[in-house]
Structures are given as C-alpha cells and as structure tokens.
Amino acid sequence: MNLADTQAKAAALGDYDPPKHRIRLLEHTLPTSSSTLRRSALRHMTEEWNQAWSTSSRGRRFAATLDKSHPRPRLHRFLLDLSRQQASILMQ
C-alpha cells in the first residue's frame, strides 16, 4: 500500500494530519461566484412570484381557465389540416 492509500484510509477513519501540516487556505470557505448569486436570486424571485400569483384571486381564476395539456399534440393535429406551404408560413 502506498502513502496516498494509507493517508486516504486514515482520513476516511477520521484521523487527520496535525494542524501544522494542514493548508490554511483550504480551511476557509470559497467565495461565491456572481453567476451563482444571480441564479440563486432569480430562483428566489421566481418562487416568490409563483407563490404570490398562485395565492392571488386573479391567479386562481386564470389557472382555472387554462388548458394544461401540452400544446404539441393539438398543434400537430392543426398542422395536419394545413398544406405544406401554409404550415411553413405559420412556423416562420
């Protein structure tokens, strides 16, 4: 067994190097990237908006009238009735 395997096994068992051998830089938390902060803020705002919308009277009324089926099957049936040229114009 080599040194790396021995140290990995010791670390897995909870044994670790004394403080004088540790790298101090790695003991601090890493800074959060700006993209992670933006994504987290956007997710939080979206959750808040969804909560506000679903509890509002307008949101509840609108949700009751929405057709929740996926649009693809309906669109496909609609496109079958069109000529190729008409479907092309519609998609463009």
Per-residue pLDDT at 29: 78
Whole-structure pTM value: 0.41
**Cα distance between residue 43 and residue 52, in whole Å:** 14
Distances (CA, A) of 17 to 10, 23, 81: 9, 10, 74
pLDDT in tens, 12-60: 787 666 656 667 767 777 778 999 999 999 999 999 998 998 888 888 8
pLDDT in tens, 4-13: 888 788 877 8
pLDDT at 70 over 80: no
**Cα distance between residue 22 and residue 11, in whole Å:** 13
Q: Which amino acid is at 13?
A: L
Residue 79 burial by Cβ neighbours in a 10 Å radius (0-12, 13-18, 19+): middle
In angstroms, what is the C-alpha Rg of the chain? Answer: 29
